[in-house]
Structure 1
């Protein structure tokens, strides 16, 4: 049977548009010609909706569930006016899975990262990013909650996370295997955006420090901390170059920062990876198209968003035991680390 993705590709529209047309979303504003084209292609490919496949039975009542989605994650939107690609991909996964499940974007309640007054009448809540104990107590009043990229209380809440420690260890092990001993760290500050922007533990840095200390090679001078933006990566690396005494390699905690840092190195005629190796984190789309294709830890961000929605709907259907899903990561080796020179 055809999928929504296949219909979208043939109709040259977004998957969410196809889902909303096929599920008769009355709030969707789309040209009659586009609607007719989607319906014709669906019929041609033999597509049937989830409701049609299940007959008249449905997991939910006819009334749409009220799902709140709170994105409390990054300062980049406030500084540069653009979204962090990492959290943009998680949001895309959440929205696409909601569309796939017939839950429309207009039915969701979007809360800003400064909003601490959660609507306790919600049927479910997805929280992307970390939060404080103060806000956590408010969230507890909502029956069905899923955290993505953060796990504040796994005994009471569902969560979707990655193993930052293992991912960082894999990246550093790769650099060690390439013969690098002096490895620096370039990263951003982790903050709780629902609690006065308090700094929280950054597992990438703490793991980096622990591993290098165990090898006796940790050097405070090789640690550079700023914000998770491309501009910061560029500025911080430019300042570091002026000081001199560069390490042999850098583990960079986000691809955006890594790409900015590589631009600063290029301006200073410091070649990557010949003079300095770089390994990033996230594997955003731009990483493979950087001036030197970036070796990076691939995080399946869109899948994290999809899994978060699936967990929430499962919980709303009666599951009582909270689940913690750890989505695996994978080191994607390109040219910037020197392995594929």
Structure 2
């Protein structure tokens, strides 16, 4: 009897672009265009290539491609907030999820970072300008911060979430209709017979805070009343900020019978303050928020709110940035519509 030693099999070679193309029934060039996120490919071919790549576990060789193209195939998702704020607000997580979906379909990587201090900004600009990312999705810009201008000057294409307060004519951004949404919410409160309609605004060093306050004011004045600053309590887009702002408001104006809060988290904080003061929602004080976060439908009472299309905002930002990276010149500003979602709080 003879014996033979069978050498162990080596690891299977990584799937190749040629295999993806053959499985999808397209040319290698077409498969490559799809996986680079280019748009000059039919929807049928795009779906076939993506399905084939998924089925055989194909992953583009980013290092090799980078040597050829001079690109990193990575996009930074930069949030100009603290980590606590970032991870406590469903808005940012929704934007991050939709951006990741678009980039994954384009065969690109997402680099997530939080930078709320000036030294963080300087370090990030240096990192981005060094070729580590091909572009930046910038969230939650405050005040007259010139971070997007510095990135653009360094040759790093940047798209903002929200209208910038400085240099909006020269920057690319995607926003929701904050003015229209705030006006819609305030008009509903007025139409319900409320007479002392107040607002818990967002931070006024942000475009969303300013624009939602402008929408509230426009509705008040259109309804025939004078804009009354004693009915405005400046807060933050947080539970704690809404609670504190509402507490101050009730101390100053105990006759308030309705409140438009500039975010859902602020609205939930405001409801807590209203209830702790011995009042009820909506019987004594009606409340409307802005965002339509998942918790809005499940609080007591369920929150009437302005829904902004978070998934579409993130996807549109990302697609706009990819077009810029490809050398296209899309329209710089995009404003998406919002809608009022009526529940029990107003």
TM-score by length of 2: 0.71
CA distance in 2, matches of 1:327, 1:262: 28
Q: Deviations over 1:159-190 (max 9, x none)?
A: 21112111111111222221223200112314
Cα contact 1:130–1:150 (8 A) shared by 2: no
Shift of 1:283: 0.6
For 1:56, which of 28, 41, 49 is the aligned residue? Answer: 28
Q: Residue 83 of structure 1 is aligned with which of 76, 88, 98?
A: 88
Residues 122-141 of structure 1 correspond to what in structure 2 (within 5 A)?
A: 122-130=133-141, 132=144, 134-141=146-153
Match of 2:56 in 1: none
The answer to whether 1:70 aligns with 2:78 is yes
Q: Output one character per residue of 1:283-314: Cα deviation in whole Å (capped at 9) or x when no partner.
A: 10111111100000001112211111111112
- Residues 264 and 292 of structure 2 are in contact (CA less than 8 Å); yes or no, is this contact kept in structure 1? yes
2-side partners of 1:68 and 1:255: how far apart?
27
* C-alpha distance 109-174 of structure 1, shift in aligned 2 (>3 A): closer
Residues in 1 aligned to 2:75 and 2:175: alpha-carbon distance in whole angstroms: 20
RMSD: 2.9
For structure 1, the 5+ residue unaligned runs are 1-22, 25-47, 193-198
Point out 4+ residue stretches in structure 1 off by more than 3 angstroms. Answer: 51-55, 59-64, 131-134, 151-157, 238-244
Task: State the shift of 1:71 in Å.
Answer: 1.1
Does residue 212 of the first structure (1) align with residue 220 of the second (2)?
Answer: yes
CA–CA separation in structure 2 for the residues paired with 1:147 and 1:321: 14
Instruction: Provide closer, same or farther for how the CA distance between residues 155 and 236 of structure 1 changes in structure 2, counting only shifts above 3 A.
Output: closer
Task: Give the equivalent residue in structure 2 for 1:9.
Answer: none
Tell me the residue number matched to 1:227. Answer: 236
Aligned to 1:41: none
1:243–1:320: structure 2 CA closer, same or farther, 3 Å change rule? closer
Asked which structure has the greater RCO (Cα within 8 Å, sep 6+), the reply is: 1
Closer, same or farther: CA 276–200 of 1 in aligned 2, 3 Å: closer
Aligned ranges 1:185-196 → 2 under 5 Å: 185-191=199-205
Structure number with higher helix proportion: 2
Q: Distance in 1 between matches of 2:86 and 2:149?
A: 31
- Work out the CA distance in 2 between the residues paired with 1:315 and 1:236: 41
Structure 1 residues 229 and 280: alpha-carbon distance in aligned structure 2, compared to 1, 3 A threshold: same
- The answer on 1:178 being equivalent to 2:192 is yes
- Residue 159 of structure 2 aligns to a residue whose secondary structure is strand
Structure 1 distance, partners of 2:239, 2:209, is 22
- In the alignment, the residues of structure 1 paired with residue 25 and residue 241 of structure 2 have an alpha-carbon distance, to the nearest angstrom, of 51
Partner of 1:260: 269
Q: Which has the larger radius of gyration?
A: 2
Structure 2 gap segments, 5+ residues each: 1-13, 37-61, 67-71
Aligned to 1:327: 336
Please tell me whether residue 283 in structure 1 is matched to residue 255 in structure 2: no
**Contact 2:87–2:93 at 8 Å: present in 1 too?**
no
